[in-house]
Amino acid sequence: MRFHASIIPDYMLSATELRKGIVFTHENSPQLVLDYKHVKSARGGAIIRVKCKNLKNGVVREITLNNGNKVEEADIERKTFDYLYKDASAVHLTDVKSHEQIDLPLDLFEGQEKFLKDGVAVTILFFEDTPLSPQLPLKLEFKVVYTEPGYAGNTSTTVYKDAELETGAVIKVPLFIKIGETILVNTSTGGYVSRA
């Protein structure tokens, strides 16, 4: 299946223009900037240290650039999809605009597939018509379908227990959370945030 991304002219960025969230091309792969540091050396020069994630293979590494270096801004297209369903090997989504259905391998979601449910919009980055990094909303609400009872009077948030969510995901929650409650979960870390 081919996807037709909008054509954007190549644009060169100075290393000093790189910031968190920008995607640039390095060694023929799109790199998402996770962190950026401008470091002055003892000899008066400066270097740019960029912590980035290769959107093709998921590898996170640090790239060092000189102050005067230029990099090519990656031709990235973002599309929004509605979650349909998942099976043992893929997640099935539909484009909210064209209604075209696509199937993405489970491993592309890096564990976040356990937080997919009806009504969740997934943003997917495309590079050269290839789907790369699916992004779920950072925080989502889930119903707790099973957890062990807490202890009477225990409202401490320092002790956690397992809870199964409506999607089948199991996360750690405070002892006071009960079956049937709706909680807010950080989909990036898989951590409990609060009651919804």
Question: How sure is the predictor about 84, in pLDDT bands with cuts at 50, 70 and 90?
Answer: very high
Reported as a pLDDT band with limits 50, 70 and 90, residue 45 is: confident
The alpha carbon dihedral of 139, 142, 148, 149 has a sign of: positive
Structural domain includes residue 16: yes
Shared domain check, 66 and 86: no
Phi, psi of 17 (to 5 degrees): -90, -10
The pTM assigned to this predicted structure is: 0.71
What's the CATH number where 147 sits? 2.40.50.140
Q: Is pLDDT larger for residue 3 or for residue 75?
A: 75
- Locate the DSSP E strands across the chain: 11-14, 23-26, 29-40, 46-54, 60-66, 70-73, 76-86, 90-95, 101-105, 121-127, 130-135, 139-147, 160-165, 170-174, 182-186, 191-195
**What range does the domain containing 182 cover?**
139-195
Half-sphere exposure of 50 (CA within 13 A, CB side): 27
Where is the domain boundary, 73, 108, 126?
A: 73
Question: Do 64 and 95 lie in a common domain?
Answer: no
Boundary residue ending a domain (25, 50, 73): 73
Q: What is the pLDDT of residues 90-145, one digit of tens each?
A: 999 999 999 999 999 998 888 899 999 998 999 998 888 888 878 899 999 999 99
Number of domains in the chain: 3
Q: Evaluate whether residue 54 is within a structural domain.
A: yes
Question: Which residues have CB under 8 Å from 45's CB, separation 6+?
Answer: 66, 67
